[in-house]
Chain A
Amino acid sequence: MEKVRLSNFVKSLLVLSMIAPLLTGCWDRLEIEERAIVLGVSIDSVSQENEDDEDEVTHIKDTIPVPEGQMIRVGVQIAIPGKIPLGPGESGGGGKGGGGQTVWVIDVVGHSVDDAFMNLQQQMSSRLFFGHLRVIVVSEDLAARGMENINDYFRRNSEVRRMAWMVVSKGKAKAFMEAAPKLERVPTLYLMTTVEEAIRMGKFPKDFIGIYWSNTSKKGQEGFLPYVELKKEQNVEISGLAFFKGAKMVGVSKPLEIGAFLAIKGINPAGYRAFVKLDGTKETVMIASTHRKSKLDVRFQNGRPHFTIHIALDINLEEKMSDSLNLNDPKIIRRIEQTEAEASNRFGMEFIRKSQEFDSDIFGFGEYVRAKKPGYWNRNVRSAKKWQEIYKDASFEVITQVRVRRVGMKAR
């Protein structure tokens, strides 16, 4: 009996000694305060004269072949631990000096995203950590040059979340890193909140980086990204959709056209407002859409797809410009509905035509064909390139039905 116990003891000792070497290593332990938490990344193109800024970190100049093409300037916004206080009190930590500067913005140049990050790491003591990367801002001109490298790097990096946002900026992307809006402790979070609140208010479709990637990958659909602009008070405006064709940005929409996009896709909640000018009179009313619904149909005419889009909009009346209009009259209401329906049809058609000009099917009509009419797809399309060609020639019809539901607290 004693012997058995002893040998058991020896055995467990052996197992323990096998495990013991494991205890020596904490390979991946990296305390949260030792990480440089990257909250936002901006990517700009670089003008020729700035290329000399580059450090020789990943390659010595003229020895190792560098990737073709222009270089990029990558800026990061890093949270400064200690400047953002724990807990709700102490009003932004402004008391302890530093003027409420909660983040640190640095930028470097590089041939590729990873190259730039390595150059940056060379200048930083803490390890860059992308687990909390929330916003990637890409400048317009770089987006137009192509996003393959950017998409590939962030997709491959396991730290980056799919719920992050990628936005295209009007002008310099780095400006967004440096902007310090008053509402949020952390500037990047302000940009993110702007977009996310826009979704909740029905002003923007859900378009996380993951959704953008999925859309870009799809054969019958192109990706789109929010197009943002920095205003004078360092606030951010969503000023449209950036159209992509493959990985290249090809155009921009107007802000209200996002509404058209949302209506065509039937995305809820609805949030856009528009003027309706009743024909024959000079009366104008402002309406707000509250609910959208859309239905898509496709037929084939001479081998070309013809899409019919039925949109149903519920709207509320928000204001009117003069007292002469009596909203108690059902006829007036009907007329408002009709006018808005026509306007919406026109608007939708125009927006689709615009996307056709860019060869950019951001709506996913192609996906609809692939899913519902696989016969046609298999015979005629089968690739993203082919669909871009067909999309250009596709014909559309938008039929909107508008219902006024409520007129507010005022009776007339």
Chain B
Amino acid sequence: MTTTNSLASLEDKIAFINGQCGENDDFSMRPFHVFGRHPAVLFCFSNMVDPSMLNKDILKAVMYLPPHLANEDIPPERLEHVLVNDVLYYSLARLEKKPAKWIDGLIRGQSVLVVEGVKDAIVLETRHIEKRGIEQPATEQVIRGPREGFIEPLGTNLSLIRYRLQSPDLRINMMEIGRRTQSSVAVCYIEGLTNPDLVAEVKKRLSNIDTDIILDTGYLEQFIEDNHISPFPQVQNTERPDKVVANLAEGRVAILVDGSPLALIVPTVFSQFYQTVEDYTERFLLMSAVRMARLVALMFSLVFPSLYVAIISFNPELIPTEFAVAVAGGRAGVPFPAVVEVLIMEISMEVLREATIRLPQQVGGALSIVGVLVIGQAAVAAGFASPITVVIIALTTIGSFATPAYNAALALRLLRFPLIFMAGIFGLYGVMIGLILIANHLLSLKSFGIPYLSPLVPGIFQGLKDLLIRGPLWWMNKRPGLLQTLDSERQNPKMVTPPRKTSKDILDPNKSMDEKER
């Protein structure tokens, strides 16, 4: 291990740094003289730093001897002290002993200043990376609610969280993961609220990761989830800072990675995947109904095609006679069994959907609508599918879009294929067997020890207020019990709601009439 002691002279230091980074053509080395006499070199990766800042705030400062020191003679042993304390009017500068840290700093966009006669190097935070502006979160749009979404740089994302949660208790702990990428990972939680064991477990799982690249939170997710084989996501991701804050305040832990606009939230239960931020900003009665509709859509996207297959191929006695006869007519020209027909249509639908994502945005929207219309119509006209199948497939597809969480919708969308198979073999009985298998799997899943279907399944009645319906906010005095938070009370249960209970009718029309009469 090299230390400053072994790199005593300026030449040694230059040689060391050049040896590590000098091969790069975007690496810049700028020799100059501090105060016009002490030889010094400034190193940086030229594309990662802000050149104007480097010129104005740093080079200028160290090249000119400041006026209040003009008459003093600065011996080399005091140079270090003077430089840091008197000359560099720059907040993010520090002395660094370890040469390895210099390199670390350099590759992150910091600048390193070495001066003849100064033992340590001065590391300056000069990083400047181009970033896009804060935009609406593309995948989680709301009608009522904040419009900000995370962007790539971690610092900006953390600032978005901090300004929404202005509390000294918000803890942000950083760690670096990825042998090669050295990605900064931030673990956020609220001290005194989040269960400390949970925080410790999250940190333990994160620090156990030993892989070379972490490009996105998606990489992390796959390393920290409990069950790797399950199709169901066990970690929630979001682009919305407000969602992160709401979850932090419930006692969850958020994980952010530099370079990724998505934050992870752990632990996660299934109900989170069909809840949206908007549920809480709109009136509870309406949003409860909307949430129910979303649940119905979720079930649709899972079971509708398999139910159709089961009824058409196995139990046509269930549907009304006139309809059954008509369906038989509709299917009369179709050469395939219902299973095959549905499978073909489902697969082409998946293809279409995938194609729409890949296409440039301007073309994509047009193509998807046209594609669906054309394919549906043509399939019926060609005797390839019956009109009812097209209706079923359309309902299923639309249903799967109604689920707010893309990853959960994806899981259910894929699971409907085995269900269609089961329906093709055993009819309704098979669909039920498949559903039982899925349900049993969900019941055995856990996210950081929390049963996946909670609060429904271990039977936490407090949590049922926010499961199928969205209970009014003044109902939900407690935080979700399953998170075992240190502070369980969310709001003052004695708060008077609605306020009308205590105050009078202030603008009672009678009052103004009384006044007029007077």
Q: Which residues of A approach B to under 8 Å, CB–CB?
A: 22-23, 25-26, 28-33, 35, 37, 39, 79, 81-87, 129, 131-132, 134, 159, 161, 185-186, 189
Asked if B339 contacts A35 (CB within 8 A), the reply is no
Asked if A28 contacts B314 (CB within 8 A), the reply is yes
A65 to B445 Cα, complex, angstroms: 63
Q: Is B330 on the interface with A (CB-CB < 8 A)?
A: yes
Asked if B325 contacts A186 (CB within 8 A), the reply is yes
Residue total for B at the interface (Cβ-Cβ under 8 A): 29
Nearest residue (CB) in B for A29 is B313
Question: Which of B312, B329, B332, B337 has the largest number of chain A CB atoms within 10 A?
Answer: B329
Q: A129-B316, A131-B316, A161-B317 are in contact. Are A37 and B325 (CB under 8 A)?
A: yes
A185 to B328 Cα, complex, angstroms: 15
B326 to chain A, nearest CB (A): 4
A30 to B313 Cα, complex, angstroms: 5
Chain B residues with Cβ under 8 A from A32's Cβ? 312-313, 316, 324, 327-328, 331, 338
Chain A residues with Cβ under 8 A from B482's Cβ? none
Q: Is B438 on the interface with A (CB-CB < 8 A)?
A: no
Chain B residues with Cβ under 8 A from A82's Cβ? 328-329, 332-333
B94 to chain A, nearest CB (A): 42
**Which of B331, B338, B421, B425 interacts with A81 by CB under 8 Å?**
B331
Asked if A26 contacts B388 (CB within 8 A), the reply is no
Asked if B321 contacts A86 (CB within 8 A), the reply is no
Nearest residue (CB) in A for B341 is A31
A181 to chain B, nearest CB (A): 15
Report the tally of A-B residue pairs with Cβ distances under 8 A. Answer: 90
B480 to chain A, nearest CB (A): 33
Chain B residues with Cβ under 8 A from A22's Cβ? 425
A83 to B325 Cα, complex, angstroms: 9
Q: Is B387 on the interface with A (CB-CB < 8 A)?
A: yes
Chain B residues with Cβ under 8 A from A186's Cβ? 321-322, 325
Asked if B388 contacts A31 (CB within 8 A), the reply is no
A5 to chain B, nearest CB (A): 9
Q: A23-B425, A30-B313, A32-B313 are in contact. Are A189 and B329 (CB under 8 A)?
A: no
Q: Is B471 on the interface with A (CB-CB < 8 A)?
A: no
Asked if A81 contacts B332 (CB within 8 A), the reply is yes
Asked if B321 contacts A132 (CB within 8 A), the reply is yes
Task: List 23 interface pairs A-B (beta carbons < 8 Å), by A numbering.
Answer: A22-B425, A25-B425, A29-B314, A29-B339, A29-B424, A29-B427, A31-B337, A32-B316, A33-B331, A35-B316, A37-B316, A39-B321, A81-B325, A81-B328, A81-B331, A82-B332, A84-B325, A84-B329, A131-B316, A132-B316, A132-B321, A134-B321, A186-B321
Chain A residues with Cβ under 8 A from B387's Cβ? 86
A22 to B424 Cα, complex, angstroms: 11
Q: A26-B424, A29-B339 are in contact. Are A85 and B329 (CB under 8 A)?
A: yes
A58 to B313 Cα, complex, angstroms: 28
A132 to B320 Cα, complex, angstroms: 8
Nearest residue (CB) in B for A35 is B316
Nearest residue (CB) in B for A184 is B322
- Known contacts A33-B329, A129-B316; 14 further A-B pairs (Cβ under 8 A): A26-B424, A28-B427, A29-B313, A29-B424, A29-B427, A30-B314, A31-B338, A33-B334, A37-B316, A82-B329, A85-B326, A86-B326, A132-B317, A186-B321
* Chain B 316-356 near chain A by CB (<8 Å), digits 1 or 0: 11000110111111111110011100000000000000000
**Which of A23, A129, A159, A161 interacts with B421 by CB under 8 Å?**
A23
B27 to chain A, nearest CB (A): 42
A184 to chain B, nearest CB (A): 9
Q: A23-B421, A131-B315 are in contact. Are A33 and B328 (CB under 8 A)?
A: yes
Q: Which residues of B approach A to under 8 Å, CB–CB?
A: 312-317, 321-322, 324-334, 337-339, 387-388, 421, 424-427
Asked if A131 contacts B388 (CB within 8 A), the reply is no
Q: A25-B425, A33-B332, A132-B317 are in contact. Are A189 and B322 (CB under 8 A)?
A: yes
Chain B residues with Cβ under 8 A from A33's Cβ? 328-329, 331-332, 334
A196 to chain B, nearest CB (A): 12
**Which of A28, A30, A189 interacts with B321 by CB under 8 Å?**
A189
Chain A residues with Cβ under 8 A from B425's Cβ? 22-23, 25-26, 29
Across the A-B interface, the 9 shortest Cβ-Cβ residue pairs: A131-B317, A81-B328, A79-B325, A81-B332, A82-B332, A82-B329, A86-B326, A86-B330, A32-B316
Nearest residue (CB) in A for B315 is A131
Asked if B424 contacts A81 (CB within 8 A), the reply is no
B149 to chain A, nearest CB (A): 38
Nearest residue (CB) in A for B334 is A33
B13 to chain A, nearest CB (A): 45
B514 to chain A, nearest CB (A): 52
Nearest residue (CB) in B for A81 is B328
Question: Which of A32, A84, A161 has the largest number of chain B CB atoms within 10 A?
Answer: A32
A84 to B329 Cα, complex, angstroms: 7
Q: A23-B421, A23-B425 are in contact. Are A86 and B317 (CB under 8 A)?
A: no
A284 to B275 Cα, complex, angstroms: 71
Chain A residues with Cβ under 8 A from B330's Cβ? 86
Q: A22-B425, A132-B321 are in contact. Are A86 and B314 (CB under 8 A)?
A: no
A354 to chain B, nearest CB (A): 36
Asked if B313 contacts A84 (CB within 8 A), the reply is no
A186 to B333 Cα, complex, angstroms: 21
A29 to B428 Cα, complex, angstroms: 11
Chain B residues with Cβ under 8 A from A87's Cβ? 326
A275 to B421 Cα, complex, angstroms: 65
A185 to B326 Cα, complex, angstroms: 11
Nearest residue (CB) in A for B314 is A28
Nearest residue (CB) in B for A84 is B325
Asked if A37 contacts B324 (CB within 8 A), the reply is yes
Question: Which of B317, B338, B387 has the largest number of chain A CB atoms within 10 A?
Answer: B317
Asked if A35 contacts B328 (CB within 8 A), the reply is yes
A132 to B315 Cα, complex, angstroms: 10
A23 to B327 Cα, complex, angstroms: 26
A6 to chain B, nearest CB (A): 14
Asked if A29 contacts B337 (CB within 8 A), the reply is yes
